[in-house]
Structure 1
Amino acid sequence: MAANQDGQACFAHSNAQLTPMVQIATECVVIVMALMHVTSSTEVVYTDVSAGYTGRMCNEECPVGWYGTNCSQECGHCANNSRCDPKIGICSDGCQTGWEGVFCAQGCPKGFYGNKCLLECTNCFEDECNTVTGKCTLGCTAGFSGYQCAQVCPDGLFGINCTDKCGKCSSEGQGRVCDAISGKCNFGCLPGYKENECKELCDYMYYGSGCKKCGVCKPGTTCDTFNGSCPEGCADGWFGDYCELSEPFSDEDGPQLALFLGFMISVVIIIMSLVTICLVLIWRREHLVEMESELPVKEKETPLIDRNGYLSDGEETFII
């Protein structure tokens, strides 16, 4: 068998009788060719004791970064690029940042980074971050920004990576004018804009905070979207800053007012009369049925017939 500088055999075997034996050593690989007598109860065991060494005579220790038989396996990410165990590859000094496991060959699981993968990625889109630095590789979730997405969006911005601008929000309250995630205005909109994001103007014929209904502007016109005034003036019979007040009747309107009131009174009287007639008819119909049911039923008289078969009223006989 071949041996390294520590006197260890490169390959060893037991419970076998080798006759004859030929050894060929090339790059610490020993090929043993033997004729052996092996019975059914005899087990031949080959043990590789050359791990951690290389060279033609198995006497050179693996260089830094390699281990195993013929130093053919690469070490993991050992801390400070230190040497791993030349035989089995364990990193005895721990792993580099972003790696874990006894061989330091496993990157941090999704959502974690740093030394021993103990730090958690924060506010990263889909929890994807660099396992070494913690930088969010796919950007931030809605409402956050910065290298590690640890900062809330600046006031006035919201959404994914803080790329959306807040609407026409009121700044009368204290704090952010709009929600960093949804963009909803925290203190309502400026006059003339719809809730909740305050990006759309009030509908036609509506104005101001909360989009109130306009007053009665001149036909074919509407009020100002922001202050509610009627630029073209009020319709006839209306006045006020917002054309929301109606004018009272004047003396000149007397005849027209009297005519209008007379018409309305006539309509009311007609309606009341019709209702009264209907009620009377309904009452009579219901009570007539009750009265008829209370009348006595007259018994029907049975005609008398004498013994000869003729009708009789008891005194005279009628021949039919």
Structure 2
Amino acid sequence: MMYAVVLLVFCIWLALLCPSVQAYENLALNKPAWQSSTFGSYTGADRAVDGQYTELGVWAGQCAVSDWEQRTAEWRVDLGGIKNIHHVFLQYATANRVWDENNVHTRYFLGFSVYISNTTNKEDGVLCFRDTNYTTATIPKPVNITCPYHGRYVIYYNNRTHPPYPEGYSDYAWNVLCEVEVYGCNVYTYGSDCIYCGNCSGGVQCNHVTGTCPNGCDAGIYGDKCDLECGNNTYGVECKELCGNCSNGEPCHHVDGTCPHGCDAGMYGEKCDLECGNNTYGVECKEMCGNCSNGEPCYHVDGTCPNGCEAGMYGDRCDLECGNNTYGVECKEMCGNCSNGEPCYHVDGTCPNGCEAGMYGERCDLECGNNTYGVECKEMCGNCSNGEPCHHVDGTCPNGCDAGMYGDKCDLGNMRKTFSFNIF
């Protein structure tokens, strides 16, 4: 029980540690097959890839058999696509007898060749193996041929076209293939364990032995085997590009530099590498800047103004108007005396509805003069004592009236009755 648990844990650990490893498989099993000639309806080319070879007699229905008295015999299997081939297993017919120099089938097997090709033409491919040394006494059963190549078609070929033939050879080419198994991995693998290739540039096949990529890696990937994603805030080809400012300091996508959850405040664009403009700031550049001095843009991240505010504005972002009867740069100026106690305009201190009685000027900060008083200084002072000016607000005379005048504003004169007598 303990052994089984340990074995299970080991298997799980191995699967997690090496998820890109696969075992060799028979790539030829039940794949489409063809041969240059066929002896009978039950000896077609597909019999050599049906997985059955318990009965090795020529006429037992488990072997592909070419026609008799042919000078060439060719058989091939279509693997369905370019595969990473490791070795080829060939089981020849034995008539269920001892496989030695006395077995009649050995002589038909001698001199055979195996090709790996991407087309149905063997000449377009590579010669994986050609028998030049076997004899009827030494040819093995079955034959395992190492073929570390990539290809779609595995082609078995034999010929009797150039007599005389070596001793023991048959006069005709006659293949009786009971099973052909092609072991390897799907394309884009390497090594004896069929490890999947990394992301080679252009999707090319990595080196089938070492796994290295001949032309570098796809964008976002690095390493000798192109199996590592860009890190350290980099992306793109050879990880040479720097990520922008992704939200919360997250890494950008290792391939194209895009940010999965948007940008940090003050940045925009698919790669978050552009600063907010057009007087905006903050997350997604949705906030509008205040009124920075001289029309300068605010800081794209938090909206602060680098050199202070325009006249009439205050606050870190210059988005607040002067209050408390102040105006101007840094709200340091005090408003004049606006009508009805209204605040002045926060920028230049002007009064929107005129001045209080007794005051004039754009900012209502000047007292009436020239012997005037009241609203808009339209009223004329009376006759104050010694020619003094009246009070600029209500027109009263601070030190009384000139001789002959009376009233709060010294604008009333003495009235005396004059009587005349006629003396006769």
Taking structure 1 as the reference length, what is the TM-score of the superposition? 0.55
Q: What SS is found at the alignment partner of 1:210?
A: helix
Q: Which amino acid aligns with 1:71?
A: C
Equivalent position of 1:242 in the other structure: 409
Equivalent position of 1:6 in the other structure: 197
1:71 aligns with 2:239: yes
**Separation of aligned partners in 1, 2:257 and 2:277:** 22
Matches within 5 A, 1:11-22: none
Q: Which amino acid aligns with 2:331?
A: C
- Displacement of 1:203 in angstroms is 1.6
Q: 2:391 aligns with which of 210, 224, 228?
A: 224
Q: 1:106 aligns with which of 269, 274, 285?
A: 274
Q: What SS is found at the alignment partner of 2:376?
A: coil
Supply the RMSD in Å over aligned alpha carbons.
Answer: 3.7
**1:173-220: CA deviations, max 9, x gaps?**
6xx432333423456544432244221122242234432321123454
- Poorly superposed stretches of 4+, deviation over 6 Å: none
Could you tell me the percent identity over the aligned residues? 33
**Separation of aligned partners in 2, 1:9 and 1:240:** 107
**Separation of aligned partners in 1, 2:271 and 2:404:** 91
**Separation of aligned partners in 1, 2:225 and 2:364:** 81
Between the two proteins, the alignment pairs up a number of residues equal to: 219
1:202 aligns with 2:355: no
**Separation of aligned partners in 2, 1:210 and 1:7:** 88
The answer (yes or no) to whether the contact 2:384–2:400 under 8 Å persists in 1 is yes
Q: Which amino acid aligns with 1:179?
A: Y
Taking structure 2 as the reference length, what is the TM-score of the superposition? 0.43
Bigger proportion of residues as helix: 1
**Separation of aligned partners in 1, 2:332 and 2:399:** 41
Higher RCO (CA-CA < 8 Å; seq separation 6+): 2
Structure 2 alignment gaps of length 5 or more: 1-189, 205-211
**Separation of aligned partners in 2, 1:118 and 1:177:** 32
Equivalent position of 2:253 in the other structure: 85
**Separation of aligned partners in 2, 1:56 and 1:118:** 44
Equivalent position of 1:147 in the other structure: 316
The answer (yes or no) to whether the contact 1:110–1:127 under 8 Å persists in 2 is no
Q: What SS is found at the alignment partner of 2:366?
A: coil
**Separation of aligned partners in 2, 1:7 and 1:243:** 106
**1:41-67: CA deviations, max 9, x gaps?**
xxxxxx764432334565443213012
1:183 aligns with 2:313: no
Q: Which amino acid aligns with 1:84?
A: C
- Displacement of 1:111 in angstroms is 1.4
The answer (yes or no) to whether the contact 1:121–1:129 under 8 Å persists in 2 is yes
Q: Which amino acid aligns with 1:6?
A: C
Bigger proportion of residues as strand: 2
- Displacement of 1:5 in angstroms is 7.8
**Separation of aligned partners in 2, 1:215 and 1:134:** 58
